[in-house]
């Protein structure tokens, strides 16, 4: 499509109208003398409506506009990892190093911006194909050691296939050809339109968890690899900390972090903090397997929309190489607000709370780009993109549109609760308001313990029972409850304090692998069931609560993961002895109810 030129006819903040006959929807255009980057978002009548991704202050009617004839694209190739981009993929660190301060004046004119991927760096391309081989789109042509943490696979791009006519091993720049396939040169650098999902072989069922090492998540509300999760929470409830915990500890190969800051300096903090984070897998920098995309609130709102699409396109690109990618978006509310602002400028009919009617569709399209897939390519490699979106509902009111539409499409809800955060219960994920729609029990039962799912159900049921009982206590006081129900309260409290709470800042506890989670839960459940048995046999609750080993439950979080199974077994046996001894000797049933291995069925309390 031939590029078109025209003139600005109207400027309304980030929205500009221009006479551009023949331009296509979503074409990239350069606006004004400064060649500000924008995208055509509406056609019709004489003028095309353009959403400009840079500050339009000073732009005047009559200035020239030129279309590129192409959609907004991301540059893909080695050099993405460790980079920090803005919404339209300009490399902020390169810009800062070149003397500019990208935050003081975040947007320089497009012509002056460096390319997303450095053209001054050589990468060692190691081919895995030979001349004469026949390859198709998505086949691996060779590899590049992009960072110590990740081997980049250079793929035949979609649409390219045929006989390999030439391969060039050795040091090359991203824009130098590494092969010739079916008459076409192939580069390490590829481009892809960000609004279009990248092609895949086929979709896979979401039946494997993205293990996060966070107890409340893995045990109670797991997210599948290739699944979606949403984290709504009021200010200060831990969204940002949670996203960072997941970036560090989730068992993903690549992290894409899209930050839309609440305040300008908040994102600057992230940009300073992230490079300091270490990768627990390797001890090296987490940035070695992370791509950061940043929009501070002092950048134009429209760029937030571009950042979300750029982020998910980069995530898909690593998925296509056969990697598990986790994309964190913090916070999608800022993106929603950008849509609202642009929609208002367009004078569209507002929907709920002023958001455009297409807010729901946009959120759904974004979350739908998650998935576990068989990649394009003959080797049938598998990859996944898991999307975790934070939402910042004003006033922590979850009935607002961005939260509601996110809930409709996300498979997991981690509901952050203001009162939990205020009580310093972290992560402040509320157990009775959160859920996971993924059925991952089979995986946990197979990989961790055959009765994992049963322990999970027990914990959820007990927490629910505790909540009911707490309601009664509020009305009537604790003395109104019989000993068995007071025992439920004690166990509920133990579950909350000794199991669900997990500090992101405690080196020994920040990561808790599933086997340790299971060990801890098993001890809590066993202690509960042994207590109930002893009560049934006539023991006194106060007496049982004084069992000398019970306080050790609070210290389980500090067990080294590799010792957890052994220590859980040892503690169980000790507790058994102590609790059984406290039942009267002549009682008919002093057995601890076989609760140790949980084979006693799915009994619920109360």
User: Which chain residues interact with ligand ADP by CB under 6 A?
Assistant: 233, 235-242, 245, 426-427, 503-505
Pairing label, strands 15-19, 5-12: antiparallel
Q: How far is the CB of 421 from ligand ADP (least distance, A)?
A: 6
Q: How far apart are the first and last CA of the chain?
A: 71
Smaller CB distance to ligand ADP: residue 67 or 242?
A: 242
Q: How far is the CB of 308 from ligand ADP (least distance, A)?
A: 18
Query: In what helix (H) or strand (E) does residue 126 lie, and over which residues does it extend?
Result: strand 123-127
Instruction: State whether residue 71 is helix, strand or coil.
Output: strand
Q: How far is the CB of 423 from ligand ADP (least distance, A)?
A: 12
Smaller CB distance to ligand ADP: residue 176 or 268?
A: 268
Smaller CB distance to ligand ADP: residue 321 or 501?
A: 501
Q: How far is the CB of 267 from ligand ADP (least distance, A)?
A: 11
Instruction: State whether residue 87 is helix, strand or coil.
Output: coil
How would DSSP label each residue in 262-328?
SSHHHHHHHHHHGGG-B-TTTSSBGGGGEEEEEE-TTS-THHHHHHHHHHHHHHHHHHHTT-EEEEE
Q: How far is the CB of 211 from ligand ADP (least distance, A)?
A: 17
| Cα–Cα distance measured from residue 216 to residue 37, given in angstroms and rounded to the nearest whole number | 43
Smaller CB distance to ligand ADP: residue 14 or 233?
A: 233
Q: How far is the CB of 236 from ligand ADP (least distance, A)?
A: 5
Smaller CB distance to ligand ADP: residue 56 or 240?
A: 240
Smaller CB distance to ligand ADP: residue 237 or 517?
A: 237
Smaller CB distance to ligand ADP: residue 10 or 263?
A: 263
Q: Any idea what the Cα angle at residue 605 is, between residues 603 and 606, rounded to 5°?
A: 135
How many C-beta neighbours within 10 Å does residue 476 have? 10
Smaller CB distance to ligand ADP: residue 143 or 244?
A: 244
DSSP state of 56: -
Q: Which of 197, 77, 72, 92 is nearest to 125 (CA)?
A: 77
How many C-beta neighbours within 10 Å does residue 243 have? 24
Q: How far is the CB of 235 from ligand ADP (least distance, A)?
A: 5
The runs of H, that is alpha helices, within 346-451 are: 359-367, 401-409, 418-422, 441-447
With beta carbons less than 8 A apart as the criterion, state whether 543 and 584 touch. no
Spatial neighbors of 513 by CB under 8 A, at least 6 apart, are 211, 213, 561
Q: How far is the CB of 501 from ligand ADP (least distance, A)?
A: 8
Whole-number CA gyration radius for the chain: 28
The runs of H, that is alpha helices, within 1-132 are: 92-97
Smaller CB distance to ligand ADP: residue 342 or 390?
A: 390
The CB-nearest residue to ligand ADP is 238
| Cα–Cα distance measured from residue 192 to residue 2, given in angstroms and rounded to the nearest whole number | 19
Q: How far is the CB of 362 from ligand ADP (least distance, A)?
A: 23
Q: How far is the CB of 503 from ligand ADP (least distance, A)?
A: 4
With beta carbons less than 8 A apart as the criterion, state whether 25 and 40 touch. yes
Smaller CB distance to ligand ADP: residue 147 or 240?
A: 240
Q: How far is the CB of 276 from ligand ADP (least distance, A)?
A: 16
Smaller CB distance to ligand ADP: residue 197 or 513?
A: 513
| Cα–Cα distance measured from residue 247 to residue 274, given in angstroms and rounded to the nearest whole number | 10
Orientation of helix 514-536 relative to helix 564-581, angle to 10°: 10
Smaller CB distance to ligand ADP: residue 32 or 233?
A: 233
With beta carbons less than 8 A apart as the criterion, state whether 388 and 229 touch. yes
Q: How far is the CB of 457 from ligand ADP (least distance, A)?
A: 25
Smaller CB distance to ligand ADP: residue 249 or 323?
A: 249
Which bin fits 82, alpha (ψ -120 to 50), beta or left (φ > 0)? left
Q: How far is the CB of 214 from ligand ADP (least distance, A)?
A: 8
| Cα–Cα distance measured from residue 383 to residue 390, given in angstroms and rounded to the nearest whole number | 23
């Amino acid at each position: 499509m031939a590029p078109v030129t025209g003139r600005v006819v109207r400027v309304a903040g980030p929205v500009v109208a221009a006479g551009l006959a023949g331009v296509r929807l979503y074409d990239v255009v350069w606006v004004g003398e400064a060649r500000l980057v924008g995208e055509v978002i509406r056609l019709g009548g004489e003028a095309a409506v353009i959403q400009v991704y840079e500050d339009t202050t000073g732009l005047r009617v009559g200035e020239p506009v030129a279309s590129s004839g192409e959609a907004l694209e991301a540059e893909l190739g080695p050099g993405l990892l460790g980079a920090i981009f803005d919404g339209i993929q300009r490399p902020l660190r390169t810009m800062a190093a070149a003397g500019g301060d990208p935050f003081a004046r975040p947007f320089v004119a497009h012509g002056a911006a460096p390319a997303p991927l450095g053209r001054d760096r050589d990468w060692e391309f190691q081919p895995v194909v030979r001349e004469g081989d026949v390859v198709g789109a998505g086949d691996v042509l060779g590899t590049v050691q992009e960072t110590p943490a990740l081997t980049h696979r250079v793929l035949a791009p979609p649409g390219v296939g045929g006989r390999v006519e030439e391969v060039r091993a050795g040091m090359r720049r991203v824009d130098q050809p590494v092969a010739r396939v079916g008459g076409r040169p192939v580069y390490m650098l590829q481009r892809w339109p960000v609004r279009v999902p990248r092609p895949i072989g086929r979709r896979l069922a979401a039946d494997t968890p993205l293990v996060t090492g966070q107890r409340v998540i893995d045990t109670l509300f797991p997210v599948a690899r290739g699944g979606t999760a949403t984290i709504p929470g009021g200010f200060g409830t831990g969204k940002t900390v949670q996203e960072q915990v997941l970036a560090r500890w989730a068992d993903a190969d690549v992290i894409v972090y899209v930050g839309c800051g609440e305040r300008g300096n908040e994102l600057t903090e992230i940009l300073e903090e992230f490079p300091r984070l270490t990768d627990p897998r390797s001890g090296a920098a987490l940035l070695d397997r992370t791509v950061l995309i940043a929009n501070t609130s002092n950048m134009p709102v429209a760029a937030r929309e571009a950042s979300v699409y750029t982020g998910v396109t980069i995530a898909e690109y690593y998925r296509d190489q056969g990697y598990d990618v986790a994309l964190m978006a913090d916070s999608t509310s800022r993106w929603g607000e950008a849509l609202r602002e642009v929609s208002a400028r367009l004078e569209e009919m507002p929907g709920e709370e002023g958001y455009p009617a297409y807010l729901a569709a946009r959120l759904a399209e974004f979350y739908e780009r998650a998935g576990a897939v068989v990649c394009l390519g003959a080797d049938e490699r598998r990859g996944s993109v898991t999307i975790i979106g934070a939402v910042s509902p004003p006033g922590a009111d979850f009935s607002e549109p961005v939260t509601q539409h996110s809930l409709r499409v996300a498979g997991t809800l981690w509901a952050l609760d203001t009162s939990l955060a205020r009580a310093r219960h972290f992560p402040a994920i509320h157990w009775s308001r959160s859920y996971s729609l993924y059925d991952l029990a089979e995986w946990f039962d197979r990989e961790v313990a055959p009765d994992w799912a049963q322990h999970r159900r027990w914990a959820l049921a007990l927490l629910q029972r505790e909540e009911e009982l707490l309601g009664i206590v509020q009305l009537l006081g604790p003395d109104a409850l019989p000993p068995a129900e007071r025992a439920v309260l004690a166990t509920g409290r133990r579950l909350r304090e000794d199991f669900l709470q997990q500090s992101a800042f405690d080196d020994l506890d920040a990561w808790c692998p599933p086997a340790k989670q299971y060990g801890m839960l098993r001890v809590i459940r066993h202690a509960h069931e042994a207590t109930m048995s002893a009560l049934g046999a006539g023991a006194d609750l106060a007496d049982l609560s004084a069992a000398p080993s019970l306080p050790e439950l609070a210290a389980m979080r500090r067990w080294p993961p590799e010792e957890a199974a052994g220590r859980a077994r040892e503690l169980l046996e000790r507790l058994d002895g102590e609790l059984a001894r406290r039942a009267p000797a002549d009682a008919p049933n002093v057995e601890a109810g076989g609760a140790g291995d949980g084979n006693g069925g799915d009994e619920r309390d109360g």
